[in-house]
Amino acid sequence: MEKKPYSLRTNIGYFLNKPIGFSRSFNIAHEEVFIQPDLNVKQLKSAVTFSRTREGLLLEADLEGSIETACGRCLMLFYIPVKTIIKELYFFSQRSQEDSDMVIPENGYIDLGEIFREYLLLELPINPLCKHDCLGLCDQCGQNLNVALCEHQLAKQIDP
């Protein structure tokens, strides 16, 4: 599959000169994107709002998309739809309290791809299934039993 490198660098630097309460909203929609370093997403949609606060900049976004993952039983790659809400505060660097705080970079640009990826992956089930009745793999030969039965499974059916 063709992978389009995805970078959603957004300039937020100009917010620093805006009054507290100033906000700006925009929509993002991508049919198919690749978010560095490892995530394929289809039908990525997001409604993003940035608001200037006392401490920095508040990011609020509704985010949805189908993310590529491997089935927990048969290991096939498939897309699973996920939906989440982002709320993050980016601090002005000089007021940052801890290393873990998100800080507005000197150049004023942040990469939304990074934070989208983080939030999308949090919504991934621990054991995702390509379908609820996925048959998985044969434990002896590794055959994908959704595709075809192997001799081991046929033998079990005859003599369970």
Give 19 or 142: the residue with its C-beta nearer to Zn ion.
142
* Among the residue ranges 15-23, 41-49, 112-120, 138-146, the one whose residues contact Zn ion (CB under 5 A): 138-146
Is residue 138 part of the contact set for Zn ion (CB under 5 A)? yes
Cis bond before residue 105 (omega within 30° of 0): no
* Token pair 């309290």: residue: 97
Amino acid (1-letter code) at residue 56: G
- Under the binding rule (CB under 5 A), the answer on residue 147 touching Zn ion is no
Q: Which helix (H) or strand (E) holds 115?
A: helix 112-122
> 87 or 132, CB closer to Zn ion?
132
Q: Any idea what DSSP says for residue 94?
A: G
Which positions touch Zn ion (CB under 5 A)?
A: 71, 73-74, 130, 134, 138, 140-141, 143, 150, 152
